[in-house]
Structure 1
Amino acid sequence: MGIFLLRRFATFVATLFAASIVVFAVQGVLPGNAAQVMLGESATPEAVEALSKKLGLDQPAAVRYGRWIEGFVTGDLGTSVAYETPVAQLIAERLAVSAPLALMAMALTTVIALTLGIYAASRHNRLGDVGVMAASQIGIAIPNFWFAILLILVFAVKLQWFSAGGFPGWRVDDGGGTWPAFKALILPAVALAVVQAAILARITRSAVLDVLREDFVRTARAKGLSQRQVLWRHVLRNAFVPVLTVMGLQFANLLTGTIVVENVFSLPGLGRLIFQAISNRDILVVQNVVMLLAAAVIVINFVVDVLYAVIDPRLKVHSV
Structure 2
Amino acid sequence: MSVFLLRRFATFLLTLVAASAIVFVVLDMLPGSAAEVVLGETATPEAVAALEARLGLDRPPAERYAEWVGGLLHGRTADSIAYDTPTAELIAERLRVSLPLAALAMALTVVVALAAGVYAAARRGRAGDVGVMIATQLGLAVPGFWLAMLLILLFAVQLQWVGAGGFPGWSEDEGGGLLEGLKALLLPALALAAVQAAILARVTRSAVLDTMGEDYVRTARAKGLSRAQTLRRHVLRNAAIPVLTVAGLQFANLVTGTIVVENVFVLPGLGRLVFQAVANRDLVVVRDVVLLLAALVVVVNFVVDVLYALVDPRLRHA
- Under a length normalisation based on structure 2, what TM-score does the superposition of the two structures give? 0.98
- Greater mean deviation of Cα atoms: 26-35 or 240-249: 26-35
Counterpart in the other structure of 2:64: 64
Counterpart in the other structure of 2:115: 115
Counterpart in the other structure of 1:246: 246
Counterpart in the other structure of 2:93: 93
> Which string of whole-angstrom CA distances, capped at 9 and with x for unpartnered residues, describes residues 196-249 of structure 1?
001100000000000000000011111111111100011000000000000001
1:108-187 superposed matches below 5 A = 108-187=108-187
> Which string of whole-angstrom CA distances, capped at 9 and with x for unpartnered residues, describes residues 147-172 of structure 1?
00000000000000011111111121
Counterpart in the other structure of 1:255: 255
How far apart are residue 176 of structure 1 and its match?
A: 1.6
How far apart are residue 28 of structure 1 and its match?
A: 3.2
Q: Structure 2: which amino acid aligns with 1:250?
A: Q
How far apart are residue 27 of structure 1 and its match?
A: 1.8
Counterpart in the other structure of 1:308: 308
How far apart are residue 84 of structure 1 and its match?
A: 1.5
- Under a length normalisation based on structure 1, what TM-score does the superposition of the two structures give? 0.97
The runs of 5 or more residues in structure 2 that have no matched partner are none
Mapped to 2, the partners of 1:254 and 1:34 lie a distance apart of 29
Indicate the percent of aligned positions where both proteins have the same amino acid. Answer: 68
Mapped to 2, the partners of 1:296 and 1:204 lie a distance apart of 24
Counterpart in the other structure of 2:82: 82
Does the 8 Å contact 2:71/2:77 carry over to 1?
yes
Mapped to 2, the partners of 1:200 and 1:124 lie a distance apart of 17
Mapped to 2, the partners of 1:170 and 1:49 lie a distance apart of 43
Counterpart in the other structure of 1:204: 204
SS state at 1:163 partner: coil
> Which string of whole-angstrom CA distances, capped at 9 and with x for unpartnered residues, describes residues 75-98 of structure 1?
311111111221111001110010
Mapped to 2, the partners of 1:130 and 1:32 lie a distance apart of 55
Does the 8 Å contact 2:29/2:61 carry over to 1?
no
Counterpart in the other structure of 1:35: 35
Mapped to 1, the partners of 2:127 and 2:198 lie a distance apart of 18
Mapped to 2, the partners of 1:56 and 1:93 lie a distance apart of 26
Mapped to 1, the partners of 2:261 and 2:74 lie a distance apart of 31
Counterpart in the other structure of 1:225: 225
Does the 8 Å contact 2:109/2:197 carry over to 1?
yes
How far apart are residue 74 of structure 1 and its match?
A: 2.5
Counterpart in the other structure of 2:102: 102
- Greater mean deviation of Cα atoms: 152-161 or 168-177: 168-177
Counterpart in the other structure of 2:44: 44
Mapped to 1, the partners of 2:310 and 2:46 lie a distance apart of 59
- The question of 1:194 aligning with 2:194 is answered yes
- Greater mean deviation of Cα atoms: 70-79 or 208-217: 70-79
Mapped to 1, the partners of 2:163 and 2:245 lie a distance apart of 35
Mapped to 1, the partners of 2:246 and 2:94 lie a distance apart of 26
> Which string of whole-angstrom CA distances, capped at 9 and with x for unpartnered residues, describes residues 6-30 of structure 1?
1111111111111110000002344
Mapped to 2, the partners of 1:56 and 1:139 lie a distance apart of 47
SS state at 1:92 partner: helix
Counterpart in the other structure of 1:298: 298
Mapped to 2, the partners of 1:56 and 1:13 lie a distance apart of 27
